[in-house]
Structure 1
Amino acid sequence: MSRFTTSPSLSVVIPLYQEIDNVEPLVTRVQEGLAHYSGAWELICVDDGSRDGTGEQLCAQIARVGEHMRVIRLRRNFGQTAAMQAGFDAARGELIATLDGDLQNDPAEIPRLVDELLARDLDLLQGWRQQRQDGLLLRKIPSRFANALIGKVTGLALHDYGCSLKIYRAIVIKEVRLLGEMHRFIPVWMAGVTAPQRIGESVVAHQARQFGVSKYGISRTFRVLLDLLAAFFFLRFGARPGHFFGMIGLSFGGIGAVLMGHLLLVKFALGEDIGHRPLLLIAILLLLAAAQFLTTGVLAELLTRTFYASSDHSHHRIRWQSDPAAAGWMTNHPNVL
């Protein structure tokens, strides 16, 4: 039984691609897992342009289970990130749970994770597949390497970034717009709008895939490295890109200036010819690169400030603030408007 008498409303978002054999057992297990959930809940299945009949099978399940199940069908295969964003946009619950459509995570664990997120006062609770039922070479080793690298670069230490079983506070995750292949680093992007200590993890069960084939391969490891670079940049320098490019420019400029000073000393103090020295070309290239990076930093700062000034976006996020009217500030300070 839930330790909370009335749980928050919940939206379960599941992206699917070419998973026709998993549709009916997946919907059945979600129904069974949330049968005793004490709050209102809905199931949102997003068909990411499947061509094997997954979308039609999903629509057929609505008549079987009821209208609390909703289906979103994308016009073509846009990728898992776009499918998840479509589900987040459609979600109406105070909390959002996500999992893959391959049945490797158990939907029955969702109520327990909801209780844990509320008890620990988190904005995101990430599943941790401590006993993974995947291939060692293609899945486990690349995943462990990626998890360690992500934690080292971002400073957000989690054991399993790739687990799709997550519980979010809707008001927080909806401040993050998912683009490209950002679904791999959702905890990292979440750390940009909430404190890292409000992101936790919990051990969850993991089962071997029974139907269909995995959509992941060893090539994903290389894409993760590129995505990690983008995540690191936006997390650390999203509001101050001039610092990122400026540090590189100043470093190149400093090295170039030292080399040029050395060559000038050789030229005028020792009287040696420096016109044919490779070191002169290197120094000039470093100084030119420094100028380009510094200029790029200034332009990036202008674009960033224009973006924040011309939109409703702001770099800071408010978690909670007291009500001035409730505090009676007008009574205490009648001359302050």
Structure 2
Amino acid sequence: MDVTIVVPLFNEDESLPELCAWIERVVNANKLSYEIILIDDGSTDDSWSVVEKLRAANPNIKGIRFQRNYGKSAALNEGFKAASGDVVITMDADLQDSPDEIPELRRMIVEDGFDMVSGWKKKRFDNTLTKNIPSKFFNWATRKASKINLHDFNCGLKSYRKKVVKSVEVYGEMHRYIPVLAKWAGFRKIGEKVVEHRARKYGTTKFGWERFVNGFLDLASIMFVSKYGKRPMHFFGLIGTLCFLVGFVMTMYLIIARIYDPANSLVNRPPFYIALATMIMGTQLFLAGFLGELIARNAPGRNAYLIEQKLGVE
């Protein structure tokens, strides 16, 4: 199959028929074999009824329905599991992403050799105060932290080589960091394409200010896990050792000072308590590193690695 289009949705019953008809026109005009996977993330409107009608009219349309709202990351993860196309394209269901971008996004994977291509909504129709300015700051911070030169990490319109979506696990609110997850998994050829951003035609946005706060917390998590997930002692042990040494040196200095000056009481000096607290913190961090190592070594994926090729090895 040439392409799988994965569409997470939440309360988008008005836009779904138009979106699917548009996708069908584009893929048929380009003679592509395709499937559309619609993931209903616990909608409270008639979205699932619409999905059932669309499926009855077109067997290339498939649906997944969550019992409750789990979020976009969960929807994408299930869509990736079900995808069978050589190229997987994701887009939002609100008609702000144009299906006319599908052929070029696919071509950049198939012909240009990219592992994934992220859309860049260079010209937006969102409110500047509540979306554009925070988005630019968020993307700048992510770009600096991840060393991935993309302008719009959160754009829902992306294309992937099939192997990429089968190699990453999207959870929590990690959908905005799929390029980081892909790079962590070893897929280095990540491209970008300027895409059309359309004004919302139906309904209202499902995202608020809290997504930016959660976004930075998720970025810190993924950067930590990607670097120290399989070797937590290298992080906690290093900091713990440094804290303990600082506290130990301070304590020895105060004890020696007390020997040379018996009138100089230790218990009346704040640095003594600071030194003790630092040593205790260092010991706790060191023990946290040991516990992390025990958890990591007993985790199911402790020795799971992505292998590109094998020669003469079963």
Fold agreement, TM-score > 0.5: yes
Contact 2:6/2:91 (8 A) holds in 1: yes
Contact 1:94/1:170 (8 A) holds in 2: yes
Show the counterpart of 1:144. Answer: 136
Q: For residues 133 and 33 of structure 2, what CA distance do their matches in structure 1 show?
A: 39
Deviation at 1:276, TM superposition (A): 2.0
Q: Deviations over 1:90-137 (max 9, x none)?
A: 111122110111111101111111111223312111111111221111
Q: Deviations over 1:45-98 (max 9, x none)?
A: 01111011111112112233x100111111111111111111111111122110
Q: Deviations over 1:14-52 (max 9, x none)?
A: 000011111111111111221233442100001111011
Show the counterpart of 1:319. Answer: 308
CA 1:250–1:156 in structure 2 vs 1: closer, same or farther (change >3 Å)?
A: farther
Q: For residues 240 and 193 of structure 2, what CA distance do their matches in structure 1 show?
A: 42
Show the counterpart of 2:46. Answer: 53
Q: For residues 314 and 12 of structure 1, what CA distance do their matches in structure 2 show?
A: 32
Contact 1:18/1:50 (8 A) holds in 2: yes
Contact 2:13/2:50 (8 A) holds in 1: yes
1:168 to 151, 160, 169: 160
Contact 1:239/1:315 (8 A) holds in 2: no
Q: For residues 278 and 313 of structure 1, what CA distance do their matches in structure 2 show?
A: 44
Partner amino acid for 2:278? L
Q: For residues 160 and 204 of structure 1, what CA distance do their matches in structure 2 show?
A: 11
Partner amino acid for 1:256? G
SS for the counterpart of 1:296 is helix
Contact 2:246/2:278 (8 A) holds in 1: yes
Q: Is the counterpart of residue 14 in structure 1 residue 3 in structure 2?
A: no
Partner amino acid for 2:192? E
CA 1:266–1:120 in structure 2 vs 1: closer, same or farther (change >3 Å)?
A: farther
Q: Please, which runs of 5 or more residues in structure 1 have no aligned partner?
A: 1-7, 326-337
Partner amino acid for 1:10? V
1:202 to 178, 193, 201: 193
Q: For residues 70 and 279 of structure 2, what CA distance do their matches in structure 1 show?
A: 43
Q: Counterparts in 2 of 1:109-120, with a 5 A limit?
A: 109-120=101-112
Q: Is the counterpart of residue 266 in structure 1 residue 257 in structure 2?
A: yes
Q: For residues 13 and 118 of structure 1, what CA distance do their matches in structure 2 show?
A: 18
Q: For residues 145 and 285 of structure 2, what CA distance do their matches in structure 1 show?
A: 22
SS for the counterpart of 2:257 is helix
Q: Is the counterpart of residue 30 in structure 1 residue 23 in structure 2?
A: yes
2:80 to 77, 88, 91: 88
Deviation at 1:169, TM superposition (A): 1.4
1:105 to 97, 100, 116: 97
CA 1:292–1:265 in structure 2 vs 1: closer, same or farther (change >3 Å)?
A: same
Q: Counterparts in 2 of 1:212-251, with a 5 A limit?
A: 212-251=203-242
Q: For residues 86 and 38 of structure 1, what CA distance do their matches in structure 2 show?
A: 27
Partner amino acid for 2:251? M
Partner amino acid for 1:58? V
Deviation at 1:157, TM superposition (A): 2.6
SS for the counterpart of 1:162 is coil
Contact 1:125/1:166 (8 A) holds in 2: yes
Show the counterpart of 1:183. Answer: 175
SS for the counterpart of 1:200 is strand
Show the counterpart of 1:44. Answer: 37
Q: Which contiguous aligned blocks of 4+ residues in structure 1 show a shift greater than 3 angstroms?
A: 311-316, 321-325
Contact 2:117/2:191 (8 A) holds in 1: yes
CA 1:312–1:246 in structure 2 vs 1: closer, same or farther (change >3 Å)?
A: closer
Deviation at 1:305, TM superposition (A): 2.0
Name the % identity.
34
Structure 1 vs Structure 2 CA RMSD = 1.8
SS for the counterpart of 1:14 is strand
Question: Scaled by the length of structure 2, what TM-score is found?
Answer: 0.94
Question: Scaled by the length of structure 1, what TM-score is found?
Answer: 0.88
Q: For residues 91 and 234 of structure 1, what CA distance do their matches in structure 2 show?
A: 26
Deviation at 1:254, TM superposition (A): 3.0
Q: For residues 174 and 30 of structure 1, what CA distance do their matches in structure 2 show?
A: 23
